[in-house]
Structure 1
Amino acid sequence: MNGGHPALPPGLTGAPVYLDYNATTPVDPRVAEAMWPHLTDFFGNPSSSHHYSAEPRRAPAEARAQVAALVGARADEAVFTASGSEADLLALCGTALAHGCGAPFHCDAAQAVGKIPLDVEELGVDLLTVVGHKMCAPKGAAALYVRDGLRLEPVVHGGGQEHGVRAGTENVALAVALGAAGLAADDLADGAPARIAALRDELHQRLAAALPGCVRLNGPERKRLPNTLNVSIDDALGHELLAAAHGIAASTGSACHRGNHTPFDLARSLGALRLSLGRWSTADDIETTADAAIKSATER
């Protein structure tokens, strides 16, 4: 699982440049390899007590420790869920509101885990959501960090799995996949955020140089995810620009003024482009994207 450049997922081969990593990520082949035996050989129910349940019982325990370590938590503070939405629901409905008044503090860190270093102790949070498909694991794999000592009311009642707060037979393959996605910690240690931020900034600079005075950065210049560039181009609708920019796959999004929550004027909001990079983004991708976006903006 460690060392070397990660293999390109088959879905990215020969396809348009993918700059929608904030929407979802390709599954890392190493993650798929880790989960595959639990879709084939190790089919037993983790709650059983015979030969076929031994590995299905062991593997989620290891995965739980891997997920917890990614956010600086203990293994027994991680609860597996089927999605970030479910983790948020468990956090919100399983507890009652503000931290300074004695109520729990929940952070939805779906877009942050694996992209920047996080530590639940430094953040001072009581609950934190982790989502697998935002960091190269399959969809349907997520977890909720629950600070030791905090009691939650289950939103799914039944057999008492997941420390009694989420009933249902464990999906071992997806738990293993989420644990394996903890290889994002290796990316962080190897300087991936700085590499990706440099590519992001190169894309911004190319756009700004070719379209002088027309490219507006949405959001703060410094305090943002290293992989995300959200810009508006004057007199351009985001969805129309992307439709005409053949060869790139990205998203549009609404924008807010830096430093407050007042909406931009409608034109700037509708013109927003969210260009989000990831593990397999390259300098060639940036050049292709910049050329396509500039061509689309100047020929519309």
Structure 2
Amino acid sequence: MIFLDAAATTPVRREVLDAMWPYLTGEFGNPSSHHSLGETAAAALSGARAAVAGVLGCRSGEVTFTSGGTEADNLAVKGIALARQAADPVLNRVVISAVEHPAVEESARYLERFHGFAVDVVPVDGTGLVSPEALEAVLRPETALVSVMYANNEVGTVQPIARLAALAHSCGIPFHTDAVQAAGWLSVDVKALGVDALSISGHKLGAPKGCGVLYVRGRTRIEPLVHGGGQERGRRSGTENVAGAVGLATALTMAQAQQLQAAERVAALRDAFIASVLAGVPEAVLTGHSTERLPSVASFCFPGTSGESVLLELERRGVVCSSGSACAAGSDAPSPVLTALGIEAEVAQTAVRFSFDSSVTALDLETAAQGIRDAVASVRSLGLA
């Protein structure tokens, strides 16, 4: 099997399992307990927090462990917007881009439905980019928060986050970015990016599912979504997942150490793969920005086919990937991300996304490109458009 769906999840690294193992077995203490087992767990949690802070370039107290990227996005969008509204009821608008992950978009819509917020959506161009001019056009004195994702999970387009954050700050507005896909491939130095909040998910980096991180700049007001014993400096109550935090910190540290070398190598393989696919299927359409894109993502539309049918044909040939529409198998719903890029719904339904981890090889992608040519030809010959 050639696994080309790393944007959905990645296998857990052996080093991560080894780091987690003690806290899943003998060192099982609750980090809030005042005895030796608890103190050992608390020390491990503190070490994990410091390691994450080291990668992000922030203070340990600015790191909040969550159950994943979705919770981190929810806490950032809802928590910051609600805290700012509580301090000043005039602040009742949030800004998101047209290509956000549902964790951000649905959080904004929740604020709209239940807390009287208006949601302003920044359009993107045909490559998926948000321009500073487009963002500036929707900012208002009432804007409580701007949230624009760092790198898109479907088409891989990388946003100019530092410029967008600086623009928001010039208007006195905090800025959040969903960096779930970017972590491990791009710098997540929060000072260089200039962001007030940043979300990461462990299972995109070689850690298990169920662990994530939210960075929140010190003194940024945030309303907790989970109430209870006041863990995580009052931002996220509940007994911490010590093993998950240790695993995430290990994976993030490893990814950071390998980032530049891995990104350069995989980007070269990605470019060769794109060229091979477009040569083998000339009518295929590459989606996303041609250069401002993740090293690890190549997404195509195959007009005249069904994306789901191509996906299934590829799996028969040993290539595992995903539908670009990120919908359940058999669904005909086009991807909102692709339609936001101006791609017609009928064409968007033909999308297939290929995403790689750092272990991908040239042979993997050469084999996959041949499989794509054969799969598309098979779908067309069988009339599965």
TM-score by length of 2: 0.70
Of residues 9, 12, 17, the one that matches 1:32 is 17
Report how far residue 256 of structure 1 moved. Answer: 8.1
Instruction: State the distance in 1 between where 2:59 and 2:272 align.
Output: 38
State the identity %.
43
* Aligned CA-pair RMSD: 1.8
User: Which residue of 2 is the match for residue 290 of structure 1?
Assistant: 369
Q: Is 1:171 equivalent to 2:156 in the alignment?
A: no
Q: Is 1:118 equivalent to 2:103 in the alignment?
A: no
Q: Which residue identity is paired with 2:200?
A: V
Of residues 348, 363, 378, the one that matches 1:269 is 348
Q: Which residue identity is paired with 2:13?
A: D
Report how far residue 277 of structure 1 moved. Answer: 0.7
Per-residue CA deviation, residues 93-112 of structure 1 (Å, 9 max, x unaligned), is: 22222444433211111111
Q: What are the residue-to-residue correspondences of 1:1-300 with 2, within 5 Å? A: 16-96=1-81, 97-98=144-145, 99-100=168-169, 101-182=171-252, 183-189=254-260, 191-212=261-282, 214-245=283-314, 246-254=317-325, 261-300=340-379
Deviates more, 1:285-294 or 1:99-108: 99-108
- Any conservation in 2 of the 1:256–1:264 contact (CA below 8 Å)? no
Q: Which runs of 5+ in 2 are unaligned?
A: 82-143, 146-167, 326-334, 380-385
- Any conservation in 2 of the 1:157–1:166 contact (CA below 8 Å)? yes
- Any conservation in 2 of the 1:199–1:283 contact (CA below 8 Å)? yes
- Any conservation in 2 of the 1:218–1:257 contact (CA below 8 Å)? no
Q: What secondary structure sits across from 1:284 in the alignment?
A: helix
Per-residue CA deviation, residues 155-176 of structure 1 (Å, 9 max, x unaligned), is: 1111111011111111110010
Instruction: State the distance in 1 between where 2:189 and 2:20 align.
Output: 26
Q: What secondary structure sits across from 2:38 in the alignment?
A: helix
The change in CA–CA distance for 1:257 and 1:143 in structure 2 (over 3 A counts) is closer
Q: Which residue identity is paired with 1:85?
A: T
Per-residue CA deviation, residues 51-99 of structure 1 (Å, 9 max, x unaligned), is: 2122201111111112122222221110001121111111122222244
User: Which residue of 2 is the match for residue 11 of structure 1?
Assistant: none
The change in CA–CA distance for 1:136 and 1:102 in structure 2 (over 3 A counts) is same
Instruction: State the distance in 2 between where 1:209 and 1:50 align.
Output: 64
Q: Which residue identity is paired with 1:229?
A: A
Instruction: State the distance in 2 between where 1:230 and 1:299 align.
Output: 20
Aligned residues: 282
Q: Which residue identity is paired with 1:283?
A: A
Q: Which runs of 5+ in 1 are unaligned?
A: 1-15
Instruction: State the distance in 1 between where 2:198 and 2:182 align.
Output: 11
- Any conservation in 2 of the 1:219–1:256 contact (CA below 8 Å)? no
Per-residue CA deviation, residues 168-227 of structure 1 (Å, 9 max, x unaligned), is: 1111100101111121011114x1001111111121111122223x12111110011110
The change in CA–CA distance for 1:266 and 1:93 in structure 2 (over 3 A counts) is closer
TM-score by length of 1: 0.89
Instruction: State the distance in 2 between where 1:233 and 1:58 align.
Output: 52
The change in CA–CA distance for 1:119 and 1:276 in structure 2 (over 3 A counts) is same
Report how far residue 228 of structure 1 moved. Answer: 0.3
Q: Which residue identity is paired with 1:38?
A: Y
User: Which residue of 2 is the match for residue 7 of structure 1?
Assistant: none
- Any conservation in 2 of the 1:158–1:167 contact (CA below 8 Å)? yes
Instruction: State the distance in 2 between where 1:160 and 1:263 align.
Output: 45
